[in-house]
Amino acid sequence: MTGAMQADRRRVSIFGATGSIGQSTLDLIARAPSAYEVVALTGGANVDRLAADAIRLKAGIAVTAYPERLHDLRARLAGSGVEAAAGEAALLEAADRPADWIMSAIVGAAGLPPGLRALRHGTVLALANKESLVCAGPILMAEAARHGATILPVDSEHSAVFQALRGEDIATVEKVVITASGGGLRDWSLARLPHATPAEAGAHPNWDMGQRITIDSASMFNKAMELIETHEFFGLPPERIETIVHPQSLIHALVQFCDGAMMAHLGAPDMRHAIGHALHWPTRQDLPVARLDLAEIARLDFAAPDPARYPALALAERVMATGGLAGAAFNAAKEVALDLFIGGRLPFTEMAPLVERVLDRMAAEGCLEAQGPTLDMVLQADRLARDRAADLAGTYETPRRAGQMP
């Protein structure tokens, strides 16, 4: 390959390459291998997949988050010319490697430090990791502005809003409505919800996603995160952001303007839409996604979310009203509650009360207040919320176990 051809290739890195979003991103990139130079791929424990993809896409480096997996990763990459590395420092070092476009698709607060680091280099950051905005929205947005970096939303709802806002003045937006499928337990009676198992909550009617976000869809913690994400990314006040249950997941978001016009974004429930939009932005290019047949779809349904079924939504309102470190605490407590639910140690319906109690405790301790929090303060609030959640969760285990009636 000549130097000129090399220079034409876009340098891309994918953080969380082995996950659901990461694999969909690689699918798009692998369709046009001559267009991209893969700088870095990162993953977690699944080093088989990470190494296979790194070799297939001729990545410069493959990084596993877990140092104990480095030996296996090295063995799989032996003789391939792909470098191997492990651990948090290696993730940051990978984020320092020059790239034109970086996908942030690690799940959880662990995605924040590498994404933030990448922004320092003025890159385009395709942001699937919504936790970054929930925990540290103002820090992330300020860092992007400081270094002339661009953040593009990859969450389907936020990509939809972003597209509906193209060429519009944000000051003319009356409200943004993000849609919610209602999740896998949408039609269950309230009395049955405490008995939901991780497998039941982890089956989504429309989207094929990672396990954690799928369960978060059933509890609407995912939508709660997305309300906060909308607030942080678009700078809209909470009272101008709504969610509506739309079981078909074909409209991803709507923007209502001051003249009463509502722009809706429709598309098949396939994350390659939002990923591809961010990959090719500011242009549009063909994407291998299904086209909608409106006559066959025939109808689109909507319903207001029931606050008793989805208490996480009210917690999002509280987080937005509190600001400061509330987002970091909320996300961390939610991650612990989700771990406990997945481990069979907390009923589905106790996740939101646990998160609420963590917020209550930290508010009473004065630990949520902060003017212009720094990354260190965010990480400290994250650790404190995990400790508080673990403490408070213990009190649930005696009276109520997963599968028992409340």
Interacting partner of 327 out of Mg ion, ligand NAD, none (Cβ under 5 to 8 A depending on kind): none
Backbone region of residue 87 per phi and psi (left: phi > 0; alpha: psi in -120 to 50; beta: other values): left
Please, which residue, 264 or 363, has the CB nearer to Mg ion?
A: 264
In whole angstroms, what is the distance from residue 51 CA to residue 96 CA? 21
Site for ligand NAD in 110-129 (CB under 6 A): 110-111, 128-129
User: For Mg ion, how many residues bind (rule: CB under 5 A)?
Assistant: 3
Please, which residue, 21 or 316, has the CB nearer to ligand NAD?
A: 21
Q: At what angle do helices 112-119 and 375-397 cross, to 10 degrees?
A: 170
Measure the CA angle with vertex 115, ends 111 and 121; round to 5°: 165
**Which of 13, 20, 123, 217 forms a contact with ligand NAD (CB under 6 A)?**
20
Please, which residue, 137 or 373, has the CB nearer to Mg ion?
A: 137
| DSSP string computed for 108-135 | SGGGHHHHHHHHTTT-EEEE--HHHHHH
Query: Tell me, what DSSP letter sits at residue 306?
Result: P
Site for ligand NAD in 149-188 (CB under 6 A): 155
Task: Find the radius of gyration of the CA atoms of the chain.
Answer: 21
219 binds ligand NAD (CB under 6 A): no
In whole angstroms, what is the distance from residue 278 CA to residue 272 CA? 10
* Residue 213: HSE in the Cβ half-sphere, 13 Å Cα cutoff: 23
**Which of 62, 94, 107, 218 forms a contact with ligand NAD (CB under 6 A)?**
107
Query: Tell me, what DSSP letter sits at residue 174?
Result: E
In whole angstroms, what is the distance from residue 172 CA to residue 165 CA? 10
Interacting partner of 402 out of Mg ion, ligand NAD, none (Cβ under 5 to 8 A depending on kind): none
360: tokens are 């209550």
Please, which residue, 16 or 183, has the CB nearer to ligand NAD?
A: 16
Position of tokens 């990480």? 379
Site for ligand NAD in 323-352 (CB under 6 A): none
Nearest approach, Cβ of 54 to Mg ion (angstroms)?
A: 28
65 binds ligand NAD (CB under 6 A): yes
Interacting partner of 209 out of ligand NAD, Mg ion, none (Cβ under 5 to 8 A depending on kind): ligand NAD
Residue type, 180: A
Backbone region of residue 108 per phi and psi (left: phi > 0; alpha: psi in -120 to 50; beta: other values): left
Contact segment (CB under 6 A) with ligand NAD among 76-84, 168-176, 210-218, 350-358 equals: 210-218
SS3 193: helix
Nearest approach, Cβ of 85 to Mg ion (angstroms)?
A: 31
Nearest approach, Cβ of 115 to ligand NAD (angstroms)?
A: 10
| CB closest to Mg ion, residue no | 155
Please name which of 360, 335, 383, 357 lies closest in space to residue 131, comparing C-alpha atoms. 335
In whole angstroms, what is the distance from residue 327 CA to residue 137 CA? 9
231 binds ligand NAD (CB under 6 A): no
Please, which residue, 137 or 361, has the CB nearer to ligand NAD?
A: 137
Please, which residue, 43 or 182, has the CB nearer to ligand NAD?
A: 43
In whole angstroms, what is the distance from residue 170 CA to residue 168 CA? 6
SS3 387: helix
Q: How far from the centroid of its chain's Cα atoms is residue 148's Cα?
A: 23
Nearest approach, Cβ of 53 to ligand NAD (angstroms)?
A: 10
21 binds ligand NAD (CB under 6 A): yes
Interacting partner of 124 out of ligand NAD, Mg ion, none (Cβ under 5 to 8 A depending on kind): none
Nearest approach, Cβ of 152 to ligand NAD (angstroms)?
A: 13
Site for Mg ion in 127-166 (CB under 5 A): 155-157
Please, which residue, 250 or 367, has the CB nearer to ligand NAD?
A: 250
Site for ligand NAD in 267-306 (CB under 6 A): 271
| DSSP string computed for 73-104 | HHHHHTTSS-EEEESHHHHHHHHHS--SEEEE
What residues line the site for ligand NAD (CB under 6 A)? 16-22, 43-44, 65, 105-108, 110-111, 128-131, 155, 207, 209-210, 212-213, 271
- Interacting residues with Mg ion (CB under 5 A): 155-157
